[in-house]
Structure 1
Amino acid sequence: MADALLLPKRDPGRPTWLRVRKARPQLVLSRRLRRRFGTLRWCGRRRLRRRRRLLLARAAGVDWKEGARQGLRAAAAAAARRPETAAPSPAPAPAPACPASVPIPPVRPVGPGRVLLLLPVEQGFTFSGICRVTCLYGQVQVFGFTISQGQPSQDVFSTYTHTFLTINAVHYSMPEKSRKEMKREARTLLKSHLNLDDRCWAMKNFSPLCSIVMLEHLKTSTVNFITSYPGLSHVFEQENRTCKINSEYLALTSVGIKKEKKRKGLHLTESALSALEELVSVSCEEVDGCPVILVCGSQDIGKSTFNRYLINQLLNSISCVDYLECDLGQTEFTPPGCISLFNVTEPILGPPFTHQRTPQKMVYYGKLSCKSNCESYIEIIKYVFSSYKREAPLLINTMGWVADEGLLLLIDLIRLLSPSHVVQFSSVSSKFMPNLTPEYVDSVNGLYTKSRRRMRNRGFPLAEFAENFEFADEEKESPVMFTGHKLISVHSEFTFRITSRNRQSHNRILRELAVLGYLGQLQPPVPKPLSPLHGLTPYQVPFNAVALRITHSDVAPTHILYAVNASWVALCKILDDVRGYTNGPILLAQTPICDCLGFGICRGVDMEKRLYLILTPVPPEELRTVNCLLVGAISIPQCVFKNQRCEGTVPYVTTDYNFKLPGASEKIGARETRETHKGKSYPKPNFR
């Protein structure tokens, strides 16, 4: 009863007390605070200003937000009454993330795992996660690829390992159509996708030149396989406890995506946009044949991002683009350690581990760098490049090794491949690299070629050039032709999250994700459940059916099976017929330059039946031509070994391992490759 009598007396007395307090100017901001105002940080000054506005508003008996709005209106009215001769003070530019300057696109759930997104023209939606994007009306652009109404849906992967993707509404032409006619057309197109309530909501928020997009929940066997390993789920989805939970957040979460700030998306520099526009224009004109575009620069500078964006831009106008991969460490469409040629016909809307594809021609080099054997690297590029038919523009990706001998090797590649355009990346943080102009390339000796100015106007047809390229020495002229190229300089201003300290671990994670993305092809299509690798049936390959070669190290013949067991193997095809020899194993003395048809895991070696047990997604009709197994320095990710579901001893995992064993791969800390003596057998893990 006493509390009930006291409470009513506090409420009316509190505003009066505040008004009395605010009437005294010394209580608003004391002299001491006023003297220290300049020494406070910006956050402290901001809190003081906000508190002062709040106290003043309470003393006046109004809401402080409403008071601020009234103050803005009064200031605008006063500015309008000013004479024209007075120079108006420049208004501060609105912040990009301010809701008043960039309206939030309306989002509405339209079913389980489905969200409708309305994007006004020139507006964007940056997100993280994976989803399927369908443009129901209008036109949008994702990572340079344009999706229009009526086109097939596209699977988009916006992961935390790379820059987030943005769905941008682009301007589309609607000649001689009023707003009423546009709404009628949009309503007709939405009938087959939405119910009446959702169509009414869309038409209520519809604006001229607005694009209507459907975002759907997406799950693929590759994504399910990668996220099944502990610690890798954050690649596609991360928890953010500071995010505001509202209806929009819940709707997007049901799809499997999350809205991100615009600044976290991709922002291309003026030089990059200019280079893209020029290269797309040259590729579509087809005046001088198909252009050959070589992209070079130091590591982690944005070459791969530029290549993906350029491919998507080209696919808006032409049907296909050829792609030559010369970067061994960070490959785009295959596991690492390969040099390959692709014919790309579909857009690239995600990182490399989400779009592993079958190449036209591929050779397994077996290492992440060519520093120890650059001559073999050049020979492999010659072999793969000979398959290019010049029926589509060719985009060449090069390594980030551009210092010392790497620069000389790059000059050899420019002379060998004879590109029509060289796109050279540079940034403030990258090392100095001279401008690779035609004059510079012509006047400097390469790693294997000599400069020949008098050979500038000579040349050979493409097929003869690929066959006749030889290494130049002091006594023999180099037959390499110098046709000249156009240098396009691109200044990169990416926000570098990779430092010299974590670069090695970051690149290793990306390589492991590429291997897991390739192994994800072994999984059955969704919605079938995942099958663990040790639950899949391997192929049985007799010893005398294939030849073996360890590419990255000299291994004694008695230790060959140590290195092959539980290793990442390349399935290759050589011209020699290896059948008819002894029971094997058949060993090669040199590493051949041959076609690689795919990869697999040597899951075990049966010494009694003299069989290799190979697990691979390569189709059986192609496996019939495989007669060579190459083992390089590319290892199977640790998570494949450590997360096997079995009882007792985990196969191939041990703490007692001899890392000094010849032919052993990098220290993954756990591979068991014991061999029993007297011709018995390797220990069979509990694979079924």
Structure 2
Amino acid sequence: MADSQLLLKRGPFRSTWLRARKTRTQLVLSRRPRRRLGTLRWCGRRRLRRRLLQAQAAGADWRESGCLVPRAATRRPKTAAPSPAPAAAPAPSGPASLPIPPVRPAGPGRALVLLPLEQGFTFSGICRVTCLYGQVQVFGFAISQGQPPQDVFSTYTHSRLTINAVHYSMPEKSKKEMKREARALLRSHLNRDDRCWLMKNFSPLCSIVMLEQLKTSTVNFLVSHPGLSYVFVQESPTFQINSEHLALRSVGIRREKKKNGLRLTESALSAMEELVTVSCEEVDGCPVILVCGSQDVGKSTFNRYLINQLLNSISCVDYLECDLGQTEFTPPGCISLLNITEPVLGPPFTHQRTPQKMVYYGKPSCKNNYENYIEIIKYVFSSYKKESPLIVNTMGWVSDKGLLLLIDLIRLLSPSHVVQFSSGRSKYMPNLTPDYVDDMDGLYTKSKSRVRDRGFQLAEFTESLEFADEEKDSPVVFTGHKLICVQSDFAFRKTPRNRESHNKVLRDLAVLGYLGQLQPPVPRPLCPLHGLTPYQLWRRAQAGGDPGLRSHSGGTPEAGAVGLANEDVSPRPDGICRGIDMEKRLYHILTPVPPEELRNVNCLLVGAISIPQCVFKSQHGLEGTIPYITTDYNFKLPGASEKIGARETEETREEKVHPKPKLYRKIN
């Protein structure tokens, strides 16, 4: 009796629940089946998979919103004459309906990516990108079919890069004619199965991209040091092992979420569009674009993107580097002028290049030596020929004397456009309008209302200064500029507490990228630095000292970075003084500078740019005692350590209690 009463109680409740479930619109994929997917039977998994495929065919992105197509849209009516069923949403033809662009393996170390119009593929790692059909854009640079492949570096230290399919102009053709043209272009690159797969998913205005594994001597040298492989690809556990994952892994890249990719604000895009238009018109000559702002607001990223945008329309862009700490194309501590003809598709340590003119300043900051900094910029800027647009990169120090120094640079370089970055997290910086610059005194220049002074000139650079538009002794002529304000919205990885250590890591990577040029070209095996044959430079010795050695920091050059210079010519790029033979009076130098330029070197500049410790401690093939490494380190020796901050860090206190191996330089 009790059992019968219990069944009577359950019956109406269950039937009511079933009726409510049948009347509920099947629009939302319940989270419960997704969490319990592993416990479903094969028929349940098959039914769920069919529903997901129907959602993809209708253009729904169930991964983000959890939406699916209505069940009434995919079922046939049960009765002969039902009421009109709701019409199913038309499924777009081709791959445009897929929320994520499909990826297909195309052999060892190769993968195909089919990108519908205005869709992107965000990734991390390094690869070689070839556009087989259509047109894509990477970091502002357009890659079209028929163009040579480009090496792309999407690293952990910077925002991830995205391959975006963009609109390209084409004559009026039918879809059949476009498919025939695409099949003809792909015949020399792909096999029959890959071509059939592409043609099956082909849609008008789509782009087909080939990703290939990339190996360079610089990358091989970087990842040979322990702990640096994470810079390019971070290994993380994944629960989705499929053909796409395996194809990308064979290339050496990994798919990333779209939110991890580079995102520029509307003001940055608007400023870039205006600057590209001005540079291509050439009505009033080539523009000089000075980019300024506080630290970590995206100045360097904006410069790279702007360079790539300009190279889409013009053949070359000039670049003046005035930031000593975070240089773009040279090792830290250098002021340089470069002519850029190839796109910049990675961080600075992946594209170290030979400048037109460069001076080794020797320090990552110009504090306490402003005069030399200004004079070197004058000297390097004098080589600008005004044949192409010039982009000027400045320091992130824009407070106190840093702001006055920036005003001096604006008066000295007379830019046509000043792009000023600001952010809600950065310190306040006044708008550098022409009126503000005219009314303010700089560090070495005076305001418009006062007598302008050219500032100080060092004797060693005075004779080399040449200005085409004014005499040597005339005051600085400032003609005004257009101020473009850009609001930055970068996701900051740096904080005031870790900024110095973060910047030091980037400087070390730039030095390693420069030293990677010493390696033999791929596919030859990697050679450690201690296995390379150094150059021998004769050490001149005269009464009263060694005139062949000029010190910026009071140190000795052994086991440190040096600038190779000529007393009559500008200093050349860096090198490493591997050792000094006191008996034969020879310097042993490792440098990628060609021998014909080394013949003119008669002076070594010793600065404060240090060699990364991983070069000494983590090279392969070292046995026994490691040169220049010791655990018996005395911080009280003059010049033994460099003061980084006024406050003692936890790491420093820990090292005093438990000393770690430290780098030291032998003092003769």
Aligned-partner SS, 1:339: strand
Contact kept in structure 1, 2:105 and 2:243, CA below 8 Å: no
Give the direction of change, closer, same or farther, for the CA distance of 1:452–1:237 in structure 2 (3 Å limit).
same
Change (3 A) 1:250 1:70: closer
Q: 1:53 to 1:244 in 2, by over 3 A?
A: closer
CA separation of 1:573 and 1:119: change in aligned 2, threshold 3 A: same
Q: Which residue in the other structure is 2:92 paired with?
A: none
**Which residue number corresponds to residue 566 of structure 2?**
573
**Residue 501 of structure 2 is aligned to residue 509 of structure 1:** no
What is the TM-score with the length of structure 1 in the denominator?
Answer: 0.79
Superposed, 1:8-407 pairs within 5 Å as 23=14, 50=32, 72-73=70-71, 103-242=99-238, 244-407=240-403
Separation in structure 2 between the aligned mates of residue 652 and residue 115 of structure 1, nearest angstrom: 45
The one-letter code of the counterpart of 2:663 is R
Unpaired segments of 5 or more residues in structure 2? 1-6, 18-27, 53-65, 76-94, 453-464, 542-546, 644-659
1:564 corresponds to 2:565 = no
Take 2:638 and 2:68, find their aligned partners in 1: how far apart are those partners?
80
Offset, 1:486: 0.3
Alpha-carbon shift at residue 609 of structure 1 (Å):
1.3
State the alpha-carbon separation in 1 of the partners of residues 33 and 99 from structure 2.
Answer: 28
Calculate percent identity across the aligned residue pairs.
Answer: 74
Over residues 175-212 of structure 1, what are the superposed CA-to-partner deviations in whole Å (9 max), with x where a residue is unaligned? 21111111010000111101111111111111101111
Task: Give the TM-score taking structure 2 as reference length.
Answer: 0.81
1:618 aligns with 2:621: no
CA contact (8 A) 2:213 2:250 kept: yes
The structure 2 residue matched to 1:649, chosen from 625, 632, 635, is 625
Aligned length: 581
Superposition deviation, residue 660 in structure 1: 3.8
Select between 361-370 and 294-303 the one with higher mean Cα deviation: 361-370
Letter in 2 for 1:604: G
Amino acid in the other structure paired with 1:417: L
Amino acid at match of 1:653: I
Hey, what's the Cα distance between the residues in 2 that align with 1:196 and 1:625? 58
1:324–1:397: 8 Å Cα contact kept in structure 2?
Answer: yes
Contact 1:633 1:665 in 2 (8 A): no
What letter matches 1:564 in structure 2? P
Letter matched to residue 248 of structure 1? E
1:550 aligns with 2:546: no
Contact 1:469 1:480 in 2 (8 A): no
Q: Aligned to 1:607, which of 582, 606, 609?
A: 582
> 1:567–1:602: 8 Å Cα contact kept in structure 2?
yes
Over 3 Å counting, the alpha-carbon distance change for 1:20 and 1:362 in structure 2 is farther
- Tell whether the 8 Å contact from 1:635 to 1:665 is kept in structure 2 after alignment: no
Q: 2:629 is paired with a residue of what secondary structure?
A: coil
The question of whether the paired residues in 1 share the 8 Å contact of 2:96 and 2:203 is answered with: no
Give the 3-state SS of the residue equivalent to 1:186 in structure 2. Answer: helix
Quote the offset at 1:453 in angstroms. Answer: 4.8
Match of 2:458 in 1: none
Pick which of 418-427 and 239-248 moved more.
239-248
Distance change in 2, residues 1:408/1:454 (3 Å): closer
Residues 123-162 of structure 1: CA deviation (Å, up to 9, x unaligned): 1000000000011111000000000111111000000000
Offset from partner CA, 1:25-54 (integer Å, 9 cap, x none): 99xxxxxxxxxxxxxxxxxxx999848999
Q: CA deviation at 1:323?
A: 0.1
1:587 alignment partner in structure 2: none
| Residue number in structure 1 paired with 2:406 | 410
Question: Counterpart of 1:258 in 2: which secondary structure?
Answer: strand
CA deviations 1:357-399 (Å, max 9, x no partner) are 0000101111111121111111110000000000000000000
Tell me the alpha carbon deviations over residues 469-490 of structure 1, each in whole angstroms, 9 at most, x when there is no partner: 67xxxxxxx7111201000000
Tell me the distance in 1 between the aligned counterparts of 2:392 and 2:498.
Answer: 27
1:386–1:466: 8 Å Cα contact kept in structure 2?
no
Establish whether residue 450 from structure 1 lines up as the match of residue 426 from structure 2.
no
Distance 1:380 1:665 in 2: 27
- Report the CA distance between 1:276 and its aligned residue: 0.5
Shift of 1:512: 0.2
Distance 1:391 1:69 in 2: 56
For the residue of structure 1 that corresponds to 2:404, the secondary structure is helix
CA distance change for structure 1 residues 374 and 467 in 2, over 3 Å: closer, same or farther? farther
- Distance in 2 (CA, whole Å) between partners of 1:135 and 1:306 is 25
Distance change >3 Å, CA 21–CA 646, structure 1 → 2: farther
CA contact (8 A) 1:465 1:480 kept: no
Deviations 1:68-91 (A, max 9, x none): 9888456999xxxxxxxxxxxxxx
Aligned-partner SS, 1:155: strand
3-state DSSP of counterpart to 1:335: coil
Cα pair distance change 1:218/1:75, threshold 3 Å: closer
**Aligned equivalent of 2:520:** 524
Question: Which SS does the other structure have where 2:314 is aligned?
Answer: coil
User: In structure 1, what is the Cα distance between the partners aligned to 2:261 and 2:230?
Assistant: 18
| Distance (whole Å) between structure 2 residues aligned to residue 637 and residue 138 of structure 1 | 43
What secondary structure is seen at the aligned counterpart in 2 of 1:289? coil
Structure 1 SS opposite 2:630 = coil
**Cα pair distance change 1:466/1:523, threshold 3 Å:** farther
- For residues 195 and 630 of structure 1, the distance between their equivalents in structure 2, rounded to whole angstroms, comes to 57
Q: Secondary structure at the match of 1:224?
A: helix
* Aligned counterpart in structure 2 of residue 597 of structure 1, from 539, 556, 572: 572
What is the SS of the residue equivalent to 1:540?
strand
Distance 1:163 1:109, change over 3 A: same
